[in-house]
Amino acid sequence: MKNEIYIVGMGPGREEMMTGEAVYALEQADVIVGYTTYLKLLGQRFQGKELLSTPMRQEKERCRLCFEEAEKGKKAALVCSGDAGIYGLASLMYEIGREYPETELFVIAGITAASSGAAVLGAPLNHDFCVVSLSDLLTPWEKIEKRLEAAAAGDFVIVLYNPSSHKRKDYLMRACDILLRRIEEERICGYVENIGREGTRANICTLKQLKEREVNMFTTVFIGSSGSENINGKFVTRRGYKIEKNTDICGNN
């Protein structure tokens, strides 16, 4: 029988926002591997399990640790925030997994920040959208710029992951400057901090205002398309339905 590793997207934070499948996979696991912050977020329910963590940035070590635990015959689970296959460790696990052909990987979907953040703001992703990470740790900035330009040209709603870090405080401002070449200053934007965690904070503003805002790394940013608007304080992207005024049974207004 093959060894098994479950790669689990735990959603944005709170256990209620984890899928039933993710909870089940973690309950079955003998050992749960993850970044310290995520293991803490798991709460009491899984504290009886063997929990193994590696510090931030040690992604390859974290993945290898999973394979080593699985090789000991344990059922291992690797936890990532949101969805493990969206700026998470799922792909790295498959890459490293080439060296461990006797181990089978299973990816369990989670609610990604674009989706959970959208729900806080209203319905900003109700038409075509794209997602761009502003982190240039693994992607050259020139490529990020190109993708932002293309997203603006395509009139997509744009979701920005990794909008800031200690070393990259001005990246959101730089991204807004690129978008402002094609998008008007008054375009609706929004951002949500600490989705599904303590201290959730949502803001709606214009693209011009967004450029001056300072956000932290636990924030997801949304830039509207030409079909987006503010409806009673909520960020909404129209799907395109024609809405007639309500008529009564006799057809009168």
Q: Which residues are near ligand SAH by CB under 6 A?
A: 12-13, 80-83, 86-88, 112-113, 117, 161-163, 192-197, 217-220
Least distance in angstroms from the C-beta of 218 to ligand SAH: 5
Are residues 175 and 163 in contact, defined by beta-carbon separation less than 8 angstroms? yes
3/189 with CB nearer ligand SAH: 189
Cα–Cα distance, 192 to 179 (Å, whole number): 19
3/134 with CB nearer ligand SAH: 134
103/219 with CB nearer ligand SAH: 219
DSSP 110-146: ---HHHHHHHHHEETTSS-EEEEE---SSS-HHHHHH
- What is the C-alpha end-to-end distance of the chain, expressed in Å? 69
Closest to 61 in 3D by CA, of 90, 93, 84 = 93
Least distance in angstroms from the C-beta of 216 to ligand SAH: 8
37/226 with CB nearer ligand SAH: 37
Least distance in angstroms from the C-beta of 221 to ligand SAH: 7
Are residues 233 and 205 in contact, defined by beta-carbon separation less than 8 angstroms? no
3/42 with CB nearer ligand SAH: 42
Closest to 219 in 3D by CA, of 38, 42, 12 = 12
112/225 with CB nearer ligand SAH: 112
Least distance in angstroms from the C-beta of 132 to ligand SAH: 11
Which amino acid, residue 101? P
Least distance in angstroms from the C-beta of 75 to ligand SAH: 22
Residue with the shortest CB distance to ligand SAH: 82
Least distance in angstroms from the C-beta of 58 to ligand SAH: 16
Closest to 100 in 3D by CA, of 109, 108, 92, 112 = 92
